[in-house]
Amino acid sequence: MPLKQRINDDVKAAMRGGDAPRRDALRLLLAALKQREVDERKELADADVVAVIEKMIKQRRESIAQFEKGGRQDLANNEQFEVGILQTYMPQALSDAEIDAAIAEALRATGAKALSDMGKVMGVLKGKLAGRADMGKVSSLVKAKLSS
Protein backbone atom coordinates (compact mmCIF):
# COMPACT_ATOMS: atom_id res chain seq x y z
CA MET A 1 0.00 0.00 0.00
CA PRO A 2 1.38 3.43 -0.90
CA LEU A 3 2.40 5.54 2.07
CA LYS A 4 -0.04 8.34 1.20
CA GLN A 5 -2.94 5.87 1.15
CA ARG A 6 -1.85 4.51 4.54
CA ILE A 7 -1.89 8.05 5.96
CA ASN A 8 -5.37 8.65 4.52
CA ASP A 9 -6.61 5.41 6.10
CA ASP A 10 -5.09 6.39 9.45
CA VAL A 11 -6.89 9.76 9.33
CA LYS A 12 -10.19 7.97 8.80
CA ALA A 13 -9.42 5.55 11.64
CA ALA A 14 -8.57 8.45 13.97
CA MET A 15 -11.83 10.17 13.01
CA ARG A 16 -13.85 7.03 13.72
CA GLY A 17 -12.00 6.49 17.00
CA GLY A 18 -12.48 10.08 18.17
CA ASP A 19 -8.71 10.66 18.45
CA ALA A 20 -8.73 14.40 17.66
CA PRO A 21 -5.02 15.17 18.30
CA ARG A 22 -3.88 12.32 16.03
CA ARG A 23 -6.46 13.28 13.39
CA ASP A 24 -5.30 16.89 13.41
CA ALA A 25 -1.62 15.96 13.13
CA LEU A 26 -2.34 13.66 10.21
CA ARG A 27 -4.45 16.31 8.51
CA LEU A 28 -1.50 18.71 8.71
CA LEU A 29 0.61 16.07 7.01
CA LEU A 30 -1.98 15.49 4.29
CA ALA A 31 -2.22 19.25 3.70
CA ALA A 32 1.57 19.46 3.27
CA LEU A 33 1.50 16.52 0.85
CA LYS A 34 -1.34 18.07 -1.16
CA GLN A 35 0.49 21.41 -1.29
CA ARG A 36 3.60 19.72 -2.67
CA GLU A 37 1.53 17.86 -5.25
CA VAL A 38 -0.08 21.12 -6.39
CA ASP A 39 3.26 22.95 -6.48
CA GLU A 40 4.99 20.24 -8.48
CA ARG A 41 1.91 19.17 -10.48
CA LYS A 42 2.54 15.49 -9.98
CA GLU A 43 1.46 12.59 -7.81
CA LEU A 44 3.93 12.03 -4.96
CA ALA A 45 5.80 8.74 -4.75
CA ASP A 46 6.67 7.21 -1.39
CA ALA A 47 10.17 8.76 -1.50
CA ASP A 48 8.61 12.21 -1.98
CA VAL A 49 6.21 11.60 0.91
CA VAL A 50 9.14 10.59 3.14
CA ALA A 51 10.96 13.81 2.17
CA VAL A 52 7.92 15.90 3.18
CA ILE A 53 7.63 14.03 6.49
CA GLU A 54 11.36 14.48 7.14
CA LYS A 55 11.04 18.23 6.57
CA MET A 56 8.04 18.43 8.89
CA ILE A 57 9.90 16.55 11.63
CA LYS A 58 12.84 18.93 11.30
CA GLN A 59 10.50 21.93 11.59
CA ARG A 60 8.83 20.45 14.66
CA ARG A 61 12.17 19.83 16.36
CA GLU A 62 13.22 23.43 15.76
CA SER A 63 9.88 24.60 17.18
CA ILE A 64 10.33 22.41 20.26
CA ALA A 65 13.69 24.02 20.96
CA GLN A 66 12.21 27.51 20.60
CA PHE A 67 9.17 26.73 22.77
CA GLU A 68 11.33 25.24 25.51
CA LYS A 69 13.63 28.25 25.36
CA GLY A 70 10.58 30.50 25.70
CA GLY A 71 9.16 28.53 28.63
CA ARG A 72 6.14 27.20 26.70
CA GLN A 73 6.29 23.53 27.62
CA ASP A 74 2.63 23.03 26.65
CA LEU A 75 3.37 23.96 23.04
CA ALA A 76 6.60 21.95 23.06
CA ASN A 77 4.65 18.88 24.22
CA ASN A 78 2.17 19.32 21.36
CA GLU A 79 5.00 19.51 18.82
CA GLN A 80 6.65 16.45 20.40
CA PHE A 81 3.38 14.54 20.01
CA GLU A 82 3.29 15.46 16.32
CA VAL A 83 6.91 14.34 15.86
CA GLY A 84 5.98 10.97 17.36
CA ILE A 85 3.11 10.53 14.93
CA LEU A 86 5.19 11.63 11.92
CA GLN A 87 8.01 9.25 12.81
CA THR A 88 5.68 6.25 12.52
CA TYR A 89 5.67 6.82 8.74
CA MET A 90 9.44 7.07 8.38
CA PRO A 91 11.45 4.06 7.19
CA GLN A 92 13.48 2.11 9.74
CA ALA A 93 16.48 4.17 10.83
CA LEU A 94 19.95 2.83 10.07
CA SER A 95 22.38 1.90 12.82
CA ASP A 96 25.69 3.74 13.23
CA ALA A 97 27.55 0.74 11.79
CA GLU A 98 25.33 0.74 8.68
CA ILE A 99 25.88 4.48 8.23
CA ASP A 100 29.66 4.06 8.57
CA ALA A 101 29.59 1.25 5.99
CA ALA A 102 27.59 3.40 3.56
CA ILE A 103 30.05 6.29 4.03
CA ALA A 104 33.04 4.00 3.42
CA GLU A 105 31.38 2.62 0.27
CA ALA A 106 30.60 6.14 -1.02
CA LEU A 107 34.19 7.24 -0.38
CA ARG A 108 35.47 4.24 -2.38
CA ALA A 109 32.93 4.74 -5.18
CA THR A 110 33.72 8.43 -5.65
CA GLY A 111 37.44 8.20 -4.96
CA ALA A 112 37.11 11.14 -2.57
CA LYS A 113 40.31 12.16 -0.82
CA ALA A 114 39.83 15.79 0.23
CA LEU A 115 37.15 18.06 1.67
CA SER A 116 36.60 19.48 -1.82
CA ASP A 117 35.13 16.07 -2.79
CA MET A 118 32.47 16.24 -0.08
CA GLY A 119 29.71 17.26 -2.51
CA LYS A 120 30.25 14.14 -4.62
CA VAL A 121 30.16 11.89 -1.58
CA MET A 122 27.05 13.53 -0.12
CA GLY A 123 25.32 13.26 -3.50
CA VAL A 124 25.81 9.50 -3.46
CA LEU A 125 24.82 9.17 0.20
CA LYS A 126 21.70 11.32 -0.06
CA GLY A 127 20.11 8.86 -2.45
CA LYS A 128 20.94 5.89 -0.25
CA LEU A 129 20.31 7.32 3.22
CA ALA A 130 17.59 9.96 2.78
CA GLY A 131 14.85 9.36 5.32
CA ARG A 132 16.81 6.62 7.04
CA ALA A 133 19.55 8.70 8.69
CA ASP A 134 20.05 12.25 9.95
CA MET A 135 21.84 13.82 6.98
CA GLY A 136 23.39 16.51 9.21
CA LYS A 137 25.06 13.80 11.26
CA VAL A 138 26.11 11.97 8.09
CA SER A 139 27.60 15.18 6.73
CA SER A 140 29.69 15.73 9.86
CA LEU A 141 30.92 12.10 9.72
CA VAL A 142 31.93 12.47 6.07
CA LYS A 143 33.70 15.75 6.85
CA ALA A 144 35.61 14.09 9.69
CA LYS A 145 36.70 11.20 7.45
CA LEU A 146 37.81 13.52 4.63
CA SER A 147 39.67 15.80 7.04
CA SER A 148 41.80 13.03 8.51
Q: Which of 31, 26, 21, 33 is nearest to 9 (CA)?
A: 26
Mean pLDDT of 98-122: 84
- pLDDT given for residue 60 in this prediction: 93
Q: What residue ranges define each of the domains in the chain, with the CATH number in brackets?
A: 3-87 (1.10.1510.10), 96-147 (1.10.10)
pLDDT tens digits, residue range 76-102?
A: 999 999 999 999 988 887 788 888 888
Burial of 138 (0-12, 13-18, 19+ CB in 10 A): buried
Which range has the top average pLDDT, 40-54, 58-72, 84-98?
A: 58-72
Banded model confidence at residue 109, pLDDT cuts 50, 70, 90 = confident
Assess whether pLDDT exceeds 80 at residue 143: yes
Alpha helices (runs of H) in 18-117, residue ranges in sequence order: 20-40, 46-69, 73-87, 96-110
pLDDT tens digits, residue range 6-40?
A: 999 999 999 999 999 999 999 999 999 999 999 99
